[in-house]
């Protein structure tokens, strides 16, 4: 089948097919144009230019079909060009494209908000409003928390990532590439330790308790709990390296927030929408956030994000204090409704668990005979390996292994404060045979000695 006549979506042939080297000649031509037209600040993980995508594959301009272990960074959980999303968006684009919800509203925005109020953890009364990106959702969650509490300080964690705007890059932990040269940063942001089991100095067993005690002590002594508007955390740190905080850490932080009138904000921008084998990652430890921010997987790639939270907090802000021209665009809302239907009807929460159950044992088997694999971790279809120099915990660069995977037609992403984490975020609709084939490519790519 010629790629020129093939649509994206699950009907694309679900195969890895390399017809040129990666990147191929046509992609290289386009990449040269990109370098002349686009600044280098906009990086490129894998310089193949895409024509179609769907199921578990991405097809490029040279006719190569690559296995997708990235989902556009945890966005196309339901797959690219998912049929229910396509159908709804096509109808909407022909009906109307924009009125601005704050000017003349439409039903789909309200339906998305109702559904998020019902689906997010906790059965208390909630409100939701819609914005355009994860960073915008986080900024708005902080605005709401400050307004409702009358306090200013915001507490974030080591290894956290929350976006690239002034406030959210301030909230982000890592300097290079996110903050370097972009100061001065926003005031009243404070950082405390995260319970990172693999790298906790006294070992994983004491990690939850010690990290929570340190965080709470720093908040109490250095900021003063009564000055803190919000504690903001990713239930699994995404860009920081898929760090699952040691069990027990999150409940202790929530308990401290509740006791001190601090708004607990869970940033589920990367972890949300079935990715971790729950609809939201907070569910794993029964955490009920006061506010939850979502984006990425919410609308299959159309720009949409949401702030959902306790009605008393969100209702505190005066009319006109929240919003934006495009927030909750009708195309994006229809896409979100298509995504939510797909997750439910195609049982993608269960599918994410199946992906984890397939990947984790194979990765652990690799770890047993390959000493550069220091740690294997993850939940559902949010899985990572942390690479180390054999026999140490010194970081081993993940980019080198990612490049080997890319050459073989497997798209993987890197992450981690130390740049030594390979992360896997396959679309939840990826067929099993591509998952297995991808793992085989990865196993070979990790075999550094044999492949050098």
Residue showing the smallest CB distance to ligand PLP in the complex: 134
Instruction: Give, as ranges, the residues between 129 and 158 that touch ligand PLP (CB under 6 A).
Output: 133-135, 138
Q: Using the minimum distance from each CB to ligand PLP, give the nearer residue, 151 or 275.
A: 275
Residues composing the chain: 452
Q: 135 or 435, CB closer to ligand PLP?
A: 135
Q: How far apart are CA 151 and CA 148, in angstroms?
A: 8
Q: CA 99 → CA 9, 57, 106, 339, distances in Å?
A: 29, 35, 9, 23
Answer yes or no whether residue 161 interacts with ligand PLP by CB under 6 A: yes
Q: Residue 61 CB: number of other CB atoms within 10 A?
A: 18
Considering the rule CB under 6 A, would residue 59 count as an interface residue with ligand PLP?
Answer: no
| 163 forms part of the interface with ligand PLP (CB under 6 A) | yes
Rg of the chain over Cα atoms, rounded to whole angstroms, equals 22
Q: Which stretch binds ligand PLP (CB under 6 A): 37-45, 99-107, 266-274, 379-387?
A: 266-274
Three-state secondary-structure class, residue 343: helix
Query: Which conformational region is residue 317 in: left (phi greater than 0), alpha (psi within -120 to 50 degrees), or beta?
Result: beta
Binding-site string for ligand PLP from residue 374 to residue 403, where x marks contact by CB under 6 A and - marks none: ------------------------------
Smallest distance from ligand PLP to CB 149, Å: 21
Which string of b and e fits 295-305 if b means at least 16 CB within 10 Å? Answer: bbbbbbbbbbb
Q: Is 210 in the site for ligand PLP (CB under 6 A)?
A: no
Q: Which secondary-structure segment (H or E) carries 154?
A: strand 153-157
Residue 73: both structure tokens together: 């960074």
Instruction: Count interface residues toward ligand PLP (CB under 6 A).
Output: 15
CA distance 131 to 113: 12
Phi, psi of 265 (to 5 degrees): -110, 125
Distance (Å) of CA 200 to CA 65, 76, 235, 245, 360? 41, 33, 17, 11, 22
For residue 308, state whether it binds ligand PLP (rule: CB under 6 A).
Answer: no
3 vs 133, which CB is nearer to ligand PLP?
133
Tokens linked to 384: 């990572």
Stretch that binds ligand PLP, among 215-223, 231-239, 362-370, 394-402 (CB under 6 A): 231-239
Is 234 near ligand PLP (CB under 6 A)? yes
CB of 269 to ligand PLP, least distance (A): 4
Q: For residue 170, state whether it binds ligand PLP (rule: CB under 6 A).
A: no
Q: How far apart are CA 444 and CA 362, in angstroms?
A: 13
Least separation in angstroms between CB 137 and ligand PLP: 7
DSSP letter assigned to residue 76 = -
267 interacts with ligand PLP by CB under 6 A: yes
Which residue number, 73 or 148, has a Cβ lying nearer to ligand PLP? 73
Which residues on neighbouring strands pair with residue 106, listed in sequence order? none
Applying the rule CB under 6 A, the residues between 63 and 102 that interact with ligand PLP are: 73
Sites of contact with ligand PLP (CB under 6 A): 73, 133-135, 138, 161-163, 234, 238-239, 267, 269-270, 295
């Amino acid at each position: 089948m010629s790629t020129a006549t093939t649509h994206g979506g699950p009907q694309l042939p679900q195969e890895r097919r390399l017809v040129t080297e990666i990147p191929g000649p046509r992609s290289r031509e386009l990449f040269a144009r990109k370098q002349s037209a686009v600044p280098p600040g906009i990086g490129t993980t894998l310089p193949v230019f895409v024509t179609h995508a769907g199921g578990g594959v991405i097809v490029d301009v040279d006719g190569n079909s690559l296995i997708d272990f990235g989902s556009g960074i945890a966005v196309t959980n339901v797959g690219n060009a998912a049929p229910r999303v396509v159908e709804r968006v096509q109808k909407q684009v022909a009906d109307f494209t924009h009125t601005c919800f704050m000017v003349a509203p439409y039903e789909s925005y309200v339906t998305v908000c109702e559904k998020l109020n019902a689906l997010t953890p906790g059965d208390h009364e909630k409100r939701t409003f819609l914005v355009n990106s994860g960073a915008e959702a986080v900024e708005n969650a902080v605005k709401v928390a400050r307004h409702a509490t009358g306090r200013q300080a915001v507490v974030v964690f080591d290894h956290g990532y929350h976006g690239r705007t002034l406030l959210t890059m301030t909230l982000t932990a890592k300097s290079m590439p996110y903050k370097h040269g972009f100061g001065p940063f926003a005031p009243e942001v404070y950082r405390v330790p995260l319970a990172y089991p693999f790298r906790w100095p006294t070992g994983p067993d004491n990690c939850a308790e010690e990290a929570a005690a340190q965080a709470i002590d720093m908040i109490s002594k250095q900021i003063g709990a009564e000055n803190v508007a919000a504690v903001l955390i990713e239930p699994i740190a995404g860009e920081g390296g898929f760090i699952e905080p040691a069990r027990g850490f999150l409940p202790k932080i929530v308990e401290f927030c509740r006791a001190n009138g601090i708004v607990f904000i869970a940033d589920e921008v990367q972890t949300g929408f079935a990715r971790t084998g729950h609809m939201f990652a907070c569910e794993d430890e029964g955490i009920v956030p006061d506010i939850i921010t979502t984006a990425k997987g919410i609308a299959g790639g159309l720009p949409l994000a949401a702030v959902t939270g306790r009605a008393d907090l969100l209702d505190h802000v005066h009319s006109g204090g929240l919003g934006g021209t495009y927030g909750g665009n009708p195309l994006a809302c229809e896409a979100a409704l298509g995504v939510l239907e797909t997750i439910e009807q195609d049982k993608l929460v269960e599918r994410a668990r199946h992906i984890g159950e397939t990947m984790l044992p194979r990765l652990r088997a690799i770890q047993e005979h390959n000493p550069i694999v220091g740690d294997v971790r993850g939940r559902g279809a949010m899985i990572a390996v942390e690479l180390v120099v054999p026999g140490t915990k010194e970081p081993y660069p993940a980019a080198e292994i990612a490049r080997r995977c890319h050459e073989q037609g497997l798209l993987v992403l890197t992450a981690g404060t130390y740049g030594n984490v390979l992360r896997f975020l396959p679309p939840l609709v990826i067929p099993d045979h591509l998952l297995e084939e991808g793992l085989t490519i990865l196993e070979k790519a990790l075999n550094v000695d044999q492949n050098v």
